């Protein structure tokens, strides 16, 4: 079928779905696909819908990087909503790329970004609709290489059978090397290309690694060196950053110009996988960020700029960036936002400079007591909470959103009661300032994650989390306090796959064949479907979610070297159960996480706060 026929078929499909803007493409800043023979055709795939995938700055960076590499043509695809999937299947039409209406089976490489465990069935939906065999072992010489990157690639085993290659680390370093290999070996047999990739640092090829599960955990055997080390872009000022970005054609989750100010985090929260995985800390210079902001705003027309990172308020050059950007943004009527605020007075002062509307501010105390915040190394004191709330209402805000977790290791009833105590404290402080105060609290179930000090700990059961959520709600007595807690079914499944092994791939495929789709969306999630799939595959999900791992046990991610040492994670675990905090390494010196042996930028002069 010719490309024009695919385009005509797409027009017909768009008339049958609720949000055709997800599939139209043609956005400002998108690249036209190259038509010349011999180019390597690369499709960036996202296993969730358009408005989610388009919100990740990493996705924009990879797209811009690929379009500037010689001999590469890059296009995009997103997981369709079920109405579009049904339309494609009923019309016997393939899922095609946005830029060129090309079926996914017509690409040389299809590359997924893995951000969230519950997007696993989205991977299979995209592959199947794109005409690509689900399993790497079933693909032939004419099929694309299916690769993956992102944080999910560092815990790859539950989806390993579906991928040919995992890229471990920063795409700015890995993608150019992968492209070079593919260009050099274009026309070579598939197996030879995979062998060459497996022999290259930073790439994990599951085909060549046997994962043997037993009562003592998981053991790995391979003819290639293990573990595979994650690679990083050591200098973000020298790393690629796009000179233009795709402007979405419809509303997306974070609809703004995203500028990454630094990568990594030094706070050391023991529950936070991202804070551990993205080490070491690497900052962009203020002049780099200011130049990127001005250039990209001229080329895109966004009306808001977001300075993004895991903890933007920790950026050492933040005030300089704001001071230098403020006149430029004010002249154009463009807002500046900080997506992440630290819970202290200085964050409120900063927010006051940026936001004159005084809608609401959001903070994450995470736990209701000082004791439990010390266990998780949150670095927020009772005094910080009081000072933050006083500053917030003094500056004119009348609403505050607070995020907490329940089910944390060592949690007691007193810790849960402390959540409501903090919310009531906010009400009292606001009313003492004559504010028409409203407090919104959101409580999520804690999910232990790989590559963190809590990776060995059991997850609270669904019954326990439901009981704790109901208990919290029973304590709410003020109509100006709204408390919501996440239903535990999705948290349970996330917990299974966040620390799973290769046996779970059968469960994912079985659940997908039974109709599991877009499991991160509450309206589509069905726990019953998943429990039926676990039973059909004779896999007990409780062994993954609610079993305490032995400290000497082989873990399903031991063949992946994130850069953190096992000794560091064990030491942090011990300190957690002793109630001891660990200082931010920007303040208290090196904590020996493992990166001090690999050229941590902080040990080469560091960054001043």
**Residue 217 confidence (pLDDT) above 90:** no
DSSP three-state, residue 214: strand
Per-position DSSP letters for 446-473, written without gaps between them: ----TTSTTTTSPPPPHHHHHHHHHHHH
| 329 has a pLDDT exceeding 50 | yes
- Does 50 lie in the same domain as 199? yes
Residue 555 lies in a domain: yes
390 alpha-carbon distance from chain centroid? 33
Number of domains in the chain: 2
Q: What is the mean pLDDT of residues 466-481?
A: 96
What is the chain's mean pLDDT, rounded?
93
Would you state the pLDDT for residue 443?
97
Q: What is the pLDDT of residues 562-575, one digit of tens each?
A: 999 999 999 999 99
Q: From start to end of 496-601, where are the E strands?
A: 560-561
Mean pLDDT of 485-504: 95
Q: CB of 324 within 8 A of CB of 356?
A: no
What's the confidence (pLDDT) of residue 352?
A: 85
Identify the CATH number of the domain in which residue 462 sits: 3.20.20
Which of 181, 208, 235 is the last residue before a domain boundary? 208
Distance (Å, rounded) from C-alpha 16 to C-alpha 330?
43
Look at residues 75, 26, 71, 81 and name the one whose alpha carbon lies nearest to residue 51. 81
Q: What is the pLDDT of residues 548-557, one digit of tens each?
A: 999 999 999 9
Report the pLDDT averaged over residues 21-26. 88
Three-state secondary-structure class, residue 14: helix
Task: Read off the pLDDT of residues 522-546 as tens digits, 9 standing for 90 and up.
Answer: 999 999 999 999 999 999 999 999 9
* Per-residue pLDDT at 3 exceeds 50: no
Residue 262: inside a domain? no
Q: Convert the pLDDT of each residue in 262-302 to its tens digit.
A: 999 999 999 999 999 999 999 999 999 999 999 999 999 89
Q: Which of 163, 178, 208 finishes a domain?
A: 208
The verdict on residue 467 lying in a domain is yes
Beta bridge partners of 218: 213
Distance CA 454, CA 461 (A): 16
Alpha-carbon distances, residue 182 vs 67, 524, 578 (angstroms)? 16, 38, 51
Write down the residue that tokens 């043609």 correspond to. 26
H or E segment to which residue 258 belongs: strand 257-260
Percentage of residues in the chain with pLDDT exceeding 90? 82
CB 181 within 8 Å of CB 109: no
For residue range 59-114, what is the model confidence (pLDDT) as tens digits?
Answer: 999 999 999 999 999 999 999 999 999 999 998 999 999 999 899 999 999 999 99
154 to each of 63, 214, 229, 402, 585, how far by Cα in Å? Answer: 21, 21, 10, 30, 24
> CA-CA distance, 598 to 234, in Å (whole number)?
10
- Candidates 304, 292, 315; CA nearest to 257 is 304
User: Is residue 386 domain-resident?
Assistant: yes
The pLDDT > 70 percentage for the chain reads 96
- Please give the Cα distance from 528 to 465 (Å, whole number): 18
Q: Which of 29-38, 348-357, 403-412 has the highest mean pLDDT?
A: 403-412
Phi and psi based region of residue 579 (left: phi greater than 0; alpha: psi -120 to 50; beta: remaining): left
Listed in sequence order, the residues at least 6 apart from 322 whose beta carbon sits closer than 8 Å to its beta carbon are 336, 350, 353, 354
- Between CA 68 and CA 257 the distance in angstroms is 20
Q: How many CA atoms lie within 13 A of 230 on its CB side?
A: 30
Position with higher pLDDT, 250 vs 458 = 458
DSSP string, 321-358: HHHHHHHHHHHHT-EEE-S---SSHHHHHHHHHH-SS-
Q: What is the pLDDT of residue 602?
A: 77
Neighbours of 307 (CB within 10 A): 26
* Domain final residue pick, 153, 173, 208: 208
Angle made by CA atoms 38, 43, 44, in degrees to the nearest 5: 145
For 127-146, what is the mean pLDDT? 97
* pLDDT of res. 609: 47
**Residue 15's pLDDT is what?**
73
Residue 598 placed within a domain = no
In the block, residue with structure tokens 């990083």 = 232
* DSSP code at position 224: S
Q: Is the pLDDT assigned to residue 325 strictly greater than 50?
A: yes
Pinpoint the alpha helices (H) of 72-227: 82-90, 120-129, 171-184, 190-198
Q: Identify the three-state secondary structure at position 52.
A: helix
The dihedral through the CA atoms of 198, 552, 232, 500 has a sign that is positive
Contact (Cβ atoms closer than 8 angstroms) between residue 158 and residue 497: yes
Q: What is the pLDDT of residue 108?
A: 97
For the chain, the straight-line distance linking the first and the last C-alpha, in angstroms and rounded, comes to 59
In a domain, 582, yes or no: no
523 found inside a domain = no
Q: How far apart are CA 33 and CA 312, in angstroms?
A: 36
Q: With the C-alpha atoms ordered 160, 164, 167, 168, is the resulting torsion angle positive or negative? A: positive
Kindly report the CATH number assigned to the domain that includes residue 20: 3.40.50.280
The answer to whether residue 220 is domain-embedded is no
pLDDT greater than 80 at residue 6: no
Long-range contacts (CB closer than 8 Å, 24 or more residues apart) made by 322-327: 322/350, 322/353, 322/354, 324/286, 324/290, 325/290, 325/293, 325/294
CA–CA distance, 323 with 333 (Å, rounded to integer): 16
d(Cα 341, Cα 604) in Å, to the nearest integer?
A: 27
Q: How far is CA 367 from CA 414, 519, 521, in A?
A: 11, 27, 26
Q: Report the Cα 226 to chain-centroid distance in Å.
A: 25
Structure tokens at 132: 């690509």
For residue 167, pLDDT over 60 is answered with yes
Q: Rounded to an integer, what distance in angstroms lies between the CA atom of residue 519 and that of residue 511? A: 11
* Residue 1, pLDDT score: 45
Please report the pLDDT score of residue 8 as a whole number. Answer: 56
- Which residue segment(s) compose the domain that 389 sits in? 341-503+539-559
Torsion of CA 66, 68, 71, 75, to 10 degrees: 40
Residue 252 has pLDDT above 60, yes or no: yes
CA separation for the pair 315, 266 (Å, rounded) = 11
Q: What is the gyration radius of the CA atoms in the chain, in angstroms?
A: 24
Contact 233, 170 (CB under 8 A): yes
pLDDT band at 605 (very low <50, low <70, confident <90, very high): low
Q: Residue 415 is inside which H or E element, if any? A: helix 413-432
């Amino acid at each position: 079928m010719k490309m024009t026929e695919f385009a005509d078929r797409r027009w017909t499909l768009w008339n049958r779905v609720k949000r055709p803007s997800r599939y139209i493409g043609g956005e400002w800043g998108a690249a036209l696909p190259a038509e010349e023979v011999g180019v390597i055709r690369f499709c960036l795939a996202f296993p969730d819908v358009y408005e989610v995938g388009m919100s990740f700055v990493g996705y924009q960076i990879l797209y811009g990087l690929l379009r500037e590499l010689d001999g590469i043509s890059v296009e995009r695809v997103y997981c369709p909503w079920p109405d579009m999937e049904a339309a494609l299947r009923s019309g016997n039409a393939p899922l095609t790329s946005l830029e060129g209406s090309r079926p996914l089976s017509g690409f040389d490489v299809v590359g997924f970004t893995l951000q969230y465990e519950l997007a696993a069935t989205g991977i299979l939906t995209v592959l199947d609709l794109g005409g690509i065999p689900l399993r790497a072992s079933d693909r032939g010489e004419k099929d694309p290489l299916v690769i993956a990157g992102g944080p999910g690639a560092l815990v790859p085993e539950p989806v390993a059978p579906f991928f040919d290659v995992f890229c471990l680390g920063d795409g700015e370093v890995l993608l150019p090397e992968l492209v070079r290999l593919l260009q050099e070996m274009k026309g070579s047999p598939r197996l030879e290309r995979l062998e060459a990739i497996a022999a290259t640092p930073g790439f994990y090829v599951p085909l060549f690694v046997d994962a043997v599960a037993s009562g003592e955990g998981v053991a790995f055997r391979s003819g290639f060196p293990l573990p595979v080390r994650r690679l990083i872009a050591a200098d973000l000022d020298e790393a690629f950053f796009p000179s233009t970005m795709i402007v979405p054609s419809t509303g997306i989750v974070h609809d703004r110009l995203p500028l990454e100010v630094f990568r990594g985090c030094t706070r050391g929260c023991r529950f936070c996988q991202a804070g551990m995985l993205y080490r070491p800390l690497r900052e962009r210079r203020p002049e780099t960020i200011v130049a990127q902001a001005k250039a990209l705003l001229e080329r895109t027309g966004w009306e808001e700029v977001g300075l993004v990172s895991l903890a933007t308020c920790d950026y050492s050059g933040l005030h300089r960036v704001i001071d230098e950007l403020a006149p430029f943004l004010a002249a154009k009527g463009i807002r500046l936002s900080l997506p992440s605020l630290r819970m202290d007075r200085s964050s409120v002062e900063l927010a006051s400079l940026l936001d004159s509307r005084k809608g609401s501010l959001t903070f994450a105390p995470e736990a209701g007591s000082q004791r439990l915040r010390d266990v998780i190394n949150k670095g927020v004191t009772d005094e910080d909470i009081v000072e933050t709330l006083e500053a917030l209402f003094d500056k004119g805000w009348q609403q505050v959103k607070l995020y907490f977790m329940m089910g944390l290791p060592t949690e007691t009833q007193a810790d849960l009661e402390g959540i409501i105590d903090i919310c009531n404290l906010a009400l009292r402080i606001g009313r003492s300032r004559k504010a028409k105060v409203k407090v919104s609290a959101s409580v999520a179930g804690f999910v232990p994650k790989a590559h963190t000090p809590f990776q060995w700990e059991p997850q609270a059961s669904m019954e326990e989390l439901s009981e704790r959520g109901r208990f919290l709600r029973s304590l709410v007595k003020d109509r100006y306090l709204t408390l919501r807690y996440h239903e535990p079914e999705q948290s349970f499944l996330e917990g299974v796959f966040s620390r799973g092994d290769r046996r779970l791939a059968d469960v994912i495929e079985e659940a997908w064949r039974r109709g599991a789709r877009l499991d991160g969306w509450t309206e589509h999630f069905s726990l019953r479907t998943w429990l039926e799939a676990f039973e059909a595959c004779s896999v007990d999900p409780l062994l993954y979610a609610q079993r305490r791992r032995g400290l000497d046990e082989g873990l399903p991610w031991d063949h992946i070297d994130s850069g953190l040492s096992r000794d560091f994670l064990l030491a942090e675990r011990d300190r957690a159960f002793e109630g001891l905090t660990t200082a931010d390494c920007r303040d208290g010196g090196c904590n020996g996480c493992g990166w001090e042996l690999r050229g941590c930028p902080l040990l080469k002069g560091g960054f001043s706060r």
